[in-house]
Chain A
Amino acid sequence: MSVGLAPLGPVGQDQLASIVDAVWTCALAAAEPPVPGTVPVAPGPWWRAEVGITGVWDGRVALECTQAAAVTAASYMLARSPEFVDEVDVRDALGELANVVGGGVKSLLPERNQLSLPTVHPLAEASGPGPAAGCRLALTWHGEPFVVTVAQADVEGT
Protein backbone atom coordinates (compact mmCIF):
# COMPACT_ATOMS: atom_id res chain seq x y z
CA MET A 1 0.00 0.00 0.00
CA SER A 2 1.26 3.43 -0.81
CA VAL A 3 -0.03 6.78 0.30
CA GLY A 4 -0.02 9.57 -2.22
CA LEU A 5 -1.65 12.94 -2.33
CA ALA A 6 -4.85 13.80 -4.10
CA PRO A 7 -5.48 17.35 -5.28
CA LEU A 8 -8.27 17.77 -2.77
CA GLY A 9 -8.39 19.63 0.47
CA PRO A 10 -10.87 20.66 3.12
CA VAL A 11 -10.02 24.35 2.96
CA GLY A 12 -9.68 27.06 0.39
CA GLN A 13 -6.74 29.41 0.10
CA ASP A 14 -8.65 32.25 1.76
CA GLN A 15 -9.49 30.06 4.75
CA LEU A 16 -5.93 28.83 4.99
CA ALA A 17 -4.66 32.41 4.79
CA SER A 18 -6.96 33.37 7.67
CA ILE A 19 -5.66 30.49 9.77
CA VAL A 20 -2.05 31.39 9.07
CA ASP A 21 -2.75 35.03 9.88
CA ALA A 22 -4.28 34.09 13.23
CA VAL A 23 -1.41 31.75 14.08
CA TRP A 24 1.18 34.38 13.26
CA THR A 25 -0.66 36.91 15.39
CA CYS A 26 -0.63 34.50 18.31
CA ALA A 27 2.78 32.91 18.05
CA LEU A 28 4.77 35.62 16.32
CA ALA A 29 3.08 38.68 17.70
CA ALA A 30 6.05 40.97 17.34
CA ALA A 31 6.75 39.95 13.77
CA GLU A 32 5.47 41.40 10.56
CA PRO A 33 2.66 39.32 9.04
CA PRO A 34 3.36 37.09 6.05
CA VAL A 35 2.30 38.40 2.67
CA PRO A 36 1.29 36.50 -0.46
CA GLY A 37 4.25 35.24 -2.41
CA THR A 38 5.10 32.71 -5.03
CA VAL A 39 6.35 29.18 -4.65
CA PRO A 40 10.07 29.73 -4.97
CA VAL A 41 12.45 27.94 -7.20
CA ALA A 42 15.46 29.27 -5.36
CA PRO A 43 17.50 26.50 -3.78
CA GLY A 44 18.67 26.52 -0.24
CA PRO A 45 18.33 24.60 2.99
CA TRP A 46 14.64 24.01 3.70
CA TRP A 47 12.63 22.67 6.62
CA ARG A 48 9.34 20.84 6.58
CA ALA A 49 7.00 20.57 9.58
CA GLU A 50 3.78 18.64 9.33
CA VAL A 51 0.90 17.19 11.29
CA GLY A 52 -1.39 14.41 10.20
CA ILE A 53 -5.15 14.45 10.50
CA THR A 54 -7.00 11.15 10.62
CA GLY A 55 -10.66 10.29 10.99
CA VAL A 56 -13.50 11.58 8.89
CA TRP A 57 -10.85 13.29 6.78
CA ASP A 58 -7.35 11.89 6.32
CA GLY A 59 -4.53 14.09 5.23
CA ARG A 60 -1.77 16.33 6.40
CA VAL A 61 -0.91 19.96 6.90
CA ALA A 62 2.65 20.99 6.14
CA LEU A 63 4.75 24.09 6.52
CA GLU A 64 7.86 24.42 4.40
CA CYS A 65 10.33 27.23 4.76
CA THR A 66 13.93 28.18 4.35
CA GLN A 67 16.49 27.85 7.12
CA ALA A 68 16.48 31.64 7.47
CA ALA A 69 12.69 31.76 7.90
CA ALA A 70 12.83 28.88 10.37
CA VAL A 71 15.45 30.62 12.48
CA THR A 72 13.47 33.86 12.39
CA ALA A 73 10.31 32.07 13.53
CA ALA A 74 12.12 30.35 16.39
CA SER A 75 13.76 33.62 17.32
CA TYR A 76 10.41 35.37 17.71
CA MET A 77 8.68 32.50 19.48
CA LEU A 78 11.51 31.95 21.94
CA ALA A 79 12.31 35.67 22.29
CA ARG A 80 15.92 34.83 21.54
CA SER A 81 18.42 36.48 19.25
CA PRO A 82 18.76 34.53 15.96
CA GLU A 83 22.42 33.77 16.60
CA PHE A 84 21.41 31.82 19.70
CA VAL A 85 18.76 29.73 17.91
CA ASP A 86 19.84 26.14 17.37
CA GLU A 87 18.36 23.15 15.56
CA VAL A 88 16.38 22.03 18.60
CA ASP A 89 14.76 25.46 18.74
CA VAL A 90 13.92 25.36 15.02
CA ARG A 91 12.32 21.92 15.32
CA ASP A 92 10.30 23.00 18.34
CA ALA A 93 9.09 26.27 16.83
CA LEU A 94 8.18 24.88 13.42
CA GLY A 95 6.49 21.89 15.03
CA GLU A 96 4.30 24.14 17.13
CA LEU A 97 3.43 26.34 14.15
CA ALA A 98 2.41 23.24 12.18
CA ASN A 99 0.43 22.00 15.19
CA VAL A 100 -1.57 25.21 15.51
CA VAL A 101 -2.14 25.61 11.76
CA GLY A 102 -3.18 21.95 11.65
CA GLY A 103 -5.58 22.54 14.51
CA GLY A 104 -7.09 25.43 12.58
CA VAL A 105 -7.60 23.24 9.53
CA LYS A 106 -9.07 20.48 11.69
CA SER A 107 -11.55 22.95 13.14
CA LEU A 108 -13.04 23.37 9.66
CA LEU A 109 -13.63 19.65 9.24
CA PRO A 110 -16.67 17.69 10.34
CA GLU A 111 -16.11 15.78 13.60
CA ARG A 112 -14.40 13.50 14.42
CA ASN A 113 -10.73 13.69 13.56
CA GLN A 114 -7.47 13.25 15.41
CA LEU A 115 -4.46 15.51 15.11
CA SER A 116 -1.05 13.86 15.28
CA LEU A 117 1.96 15.22 17.08
CA PRO A 118 4.09 17.27 14.67
CA THR A 119 7.11 15.95 12.84
CA VAL A 120 9.85 18.26 11.65
CA HIS A 121 12.72 17.44 9.35
CA PRO A 122 15.15 19.19 7.03
CA LEU A 123 14.58 18.72 3.34
CA ALA A 124 17.36 17.60 1.08
CA GLU A 125 19.75 20.37 0.22
CA ALA A 126 18.49 22.57 -2.59
CA SER A 127 15.23 20.69 -2.90
CA GLY A 128 12.73 23.36 -1.87
CA PRO A 129 9.04 22.60 -1.49
CA GLY A 130 7.58 19.49 -3.03
CA PRO A 131 5.17 19.48 -5.98
CA ALA A 132 1.82 21.18 -5.59
CA ALA A 133 -0.84 19.01 -3.99
CA GLY A 134 -4.08 19.98 -2.32
CA CYS A 135 -4.41 23.56 -1.18
CA ARG A 136 -1.14 25.43 -1.22
CA LEU A 137 -0.49 28.90 0.15
CA ALA A 138 2.74 30.54 -0.88
CA LEU A 139 3.85 33.35 1.39
CA THR A 140 6.76 35.66 1.86
CA TRP A 141 7.80 36.37 5.40
CA HIS A 142 10.74 38.58 6.36
CA GLY A 143 11.83 38.30 2.74
CA GLU A 144 11.87 34.51 2.86
CA PRO A 145 9.49 32.02 1.26
CA PHE A 146 7.07 30.14 3.51
CA VAL A 147 4.74 27.55 1.99
CA VAL A 148 1.70 26.04 3.70
CA THR A 149 0.02 22.99 2.19
CA VAL A 150 -3.12 21.05 3.08
CA ALA A 151 -3.32 17.75 1.25
CA GLN A 152 -5.68 14.85 1.49
CA ALA A 153 -4.21 11.38 1.75
CA ASP A 154 -5.08 9.16 -1.14
CA VAL A 155 -4.68 5.52 -0.26
CA GLU A 156 -3.69 3.63 -3.35
CA GLY A 157 -3.53 -0.10 -3.77
CA THR A 158 -4.17 -2.63 -1.05
Chain B
Amino acid sequence: MLALVVDDSRAMRMILGRVLAHLGYETVQAENGQQALEVLTAGPLPDVALVDWNMPVMDGLEFVTAVRANPDWRAITLMMVTTESEQSQIVRALAAGAHEYVIKPFTPEAIAEKLELLGVLPAGVSR
Protein backbone atom coordinates (compact mmCIF):
# COMPACT_ATOMS: atom_id res chain seq x y z
CA MET B 1 0.00 0.00 0.00
CA LEU B 2 1.08 3.53 -0.70
CA ALA B 3 0.77 6.40 1.79
CA LEU B 4 1.22 10.09 1.10
CA VAL B 5 2.57 12.19 3.98
CA VAL B 6 1.83 15.90 3.70
CA ASP B 7 3.60 18.06 6.27
CA ASP B 8 5.77 21.17 6.02
CA SER B 9 8.20 19.76 8.56
CA ARG B 10 10.72 17.35 7.10
CA ALA B 11 11.33 15.96 10.57
CA MET B 12 7.64 15.16 11.00
CA ARG B 13 7.48 13.63 7.51
CA MET B 14 10.35 11.38 8.49
CA ILE B 15 8.76 10.43 11.81
CA LEU B 16 5.48 9.54 10.11
CA GLY B 17 7.41 7.82 7.32
CA ARG B 18 9.13 5.57 9.84
CA VAL B 19 5.82 4.71 11.49
CA LEU B 20 4.25 3.90 8.13
CA ALA B 21 7.24 1.91 6.92
CA HIS B 22 7.03 -0.19 10.07
CA LEU B 23 3.40 -0.87 9.20
CA GLY B 24 4.37 -2.02 5.72
CA TYR B 25 3.57 1.05 3.65
CA GLU B 26 5.59 2.58 0.89
CA THR B 27 5.49 6.34 1.27
CA VAL B 28 5.69 9.47 -0.81
CA GLN B 29 5.93 12.95 0.68
CA ALA B 30 4.85 16.51 0.02
CA GLU B 31 5.68 19.75 1.84
CA ASN B 32 2.28 21.38 1.49
CA GLY B 33 -1.15 20.90 -0.01
CA GLN B 34 -0.21 22.29 -3.42
CA GLN B 35 2.74 19.95 -3.75
CA ALA B 36 0.54 17.07 -2.60
CA LEU B 37 -1.98 17.82 -5.36
CA GLU B 38 0.90 17.65 -7.83
CA VAL B 39 1.89 14.26 -6.41
CA LEU B 40 -1.67 13.01 -6.90
CA THR B 41 -1.81 14.38 -10.43
CA ALA B 42 1.48 12.70 -11.33
CA GLY B 43 0.37 9.40 -9.76
CA PRO B 44 0.32 6.67 -8.70
CA LEU B 45 -2.49 7.44 -6.32
CA PRO B 46 -1.89 6.65 -2.66
CA ASP B 47 -4.28 4.50 -0.66
CA VAL B 48 -4.12 6.91 2.24
CA ALA B 49 -2.90 10.45 2.85
CA LEU B 50 -1.79 11.74 6.26
CA VAL B 51 -2.24 15.50 6.19
CA ASP B 52 -1.03 18.27 8.46
CA TRP B 53 -3.29 21.31 8.84
CA ASN B 54 -1.00 24.34 9.21
CA MET B 55 1.23 24.55 6.18
CA PRO B 56 2.37 27.40 3.96
CA VAL B 57 1.17 27.72 0.32
CA MET B 58 -1.86 25.43 0.77
CA ASP B 59 -3.02 24.18 4.14
CA GLY B 60 -4.40 20.75 4.94
CA LEU B 61 -8.04 21.75 4.97
CA GLU B 62 -7.75 23.28 1.50
CA PHE B 63 -6.02 20.11 0.32
CA VAL B 64 -8.74 17.85 1.71
CA THR B 65 -11.39 20.02 0.06
CA ALA B 66 -9.56 19.88 -3.27
CA VAL B 67 -9.16 16.11 -3.12
CA ARG B 68 -12.82 15.59 -2.34
CA ALA B 69 -13.79 17.82 -5.27
CA ASN B 70 -12.07 15.48 -7.72
CA PRO B 71 -14.03 12.25 -8.41
CA ASP B 72 -10.86 10.54 -9.62
CA TRP B 73 -9.42 10.82 -6.11
CA ARG B 74 -12.49 9.58 -4.26
CA ALA B 75 -10.85 6.33 -3.21
CA ILE B 76 -8.07 8.03 -1.26
CA THR B 77 -8.50 7.76 2.49
CA LEU B 78 -7.69 11.07 4.18
CA MET B 79 -6.43 11.38 7.75
CA MET B 80 -5.56 14.68 9.35
CA VAL B 81 -2.47 14.56 11.60
CA THR B 82 -2.20 17.97 13.19
CA THR B 83 -1.69 20.03 16.32
CA GLU B 84 -5.10 21.63 15.80
CA SER B 85 -7.31 20.15 18.48
CA GLU B 86 -10.32 22.45 18.77
CA GLN B 87 -13.62 20.65 18.36
CA SER B 88 -14.77 23.13 15.73
CA GLN B 89 -11.70 22.40 13.64
CA ILE B 90 -12.16 18.66 13.87
CA VAL B 91 -15.75 19.12 12.73
CA ARG B 92 -14.62 21.31 9.82
CA ALA B 93 -12.04 18.77 8.68
CA LEU B 94 -14.44 15.86 8.83
CA ALA B 95 -17.12 17.89 7.04
CA ALA B 96 -14.60 18.72 4.32
CA GLY B 97 -14.00 15.04 3.73
CA ALA B 98 -11.33 13.84 6.10
CA HIS B 99 -12.03 10.32 7.33
CA GLU B 100 -10.05 10.47 10.55
CA TYR B 101 -8.29 12.96 12.77
CA VAL B 102 -5.15 12.44 14.85
CA ILE B 103 -3.83 15.15 17.12
CA LYS B 104 -0.09 15.67 17.56
CA PRO B 105 1.70 14.52 19.60
CA PHE B 106 0.72 11.01 18.62
CA THR B 107 2.08 7.57 19.31
CA PRO B 108 2.81 5.05 16.55
CA GLU B 109 0.09 2.90 18.11
CA ALA B 110 -2.47 5.67 17.67
CA ILE B 111 -1.63 6.00 13.98
CA ALA B 112 -1.83 2.24 13.48
CA GLU B 113 -5.13 2.04 15.34
CA LYS B 114 -6.73 4.73 13.18
CA LEU B 115 -5.45 3.15 9.97
CA GLU B 116 -6.78 -0.20 11.08
CA LEU B 117 -10.17 1.31 11.83
CA LEU B 118 -10.17 2.83 8.36
CA GLY B 119 -9.35 -0.55 6.83
CA VAL B 120 -6.20 0.65 5.15
CA LEU B 121 -3.52 -1.29 6.99
CA PRO B 122 -1.39 -3.37 4.63
CA ALA B 123 -2.34 -7.04 4.64
CA GLY B 124 -0.62 -9.25 7.16
CA VAL B 125 0.50 -6.39 9.38
CA SER B 126 0.26 -6.94 13.07
CA ARG B 127 0.66 -3.81 15.10
Contacts and interface: CB of A to CB of B under 8 A. Distances in A.
Nearest to B7: A96
Q: What range describes how many residues of A lie at the interface?
A: 20 to 34
B74 to A, nearest CB: 30
Q: What range describes how many residues of B lie at the interface?
A: 20 to 34
A contact face: mostly helix, strand, loop, or mixed: helix
A62 to B, nearest CB: 15
Contacts of B105: 22-23, 25-27, 100, 104
Interface stretch (B42-50, B63-71, B82-90): B82-90
A66 to B, nearest CB: 18
B107 A26 contact: yes
A81 interface: no
A15 interface: no
A153 interface: no
Interface in B1-43: 8-12, 14-15, 18
Interface in A10-38: 22-23, 25-27, 29
Contacts of A39: none
Given A23-B105, A79-B18, A93 B11 contact: yes
Contacts of B103: 103, 107
Contact of A26 (B54, B84, B104): B104
Interface stretch (A1-9, A111-119, A128-136, A141-149): A111-119
B21 to A, nearest CB: 11
Given A26-B104, A117-B56, A103 B14 contact: no
Contacts of B11: 27, 74, 77-78, 89, 92-93, 96
Contacts of B83: 99-100, 102-104, 106, 115
A95 interface: yes
Interface of B: 8-12, 14-15, 18, 54-56, 82-88, 103-108
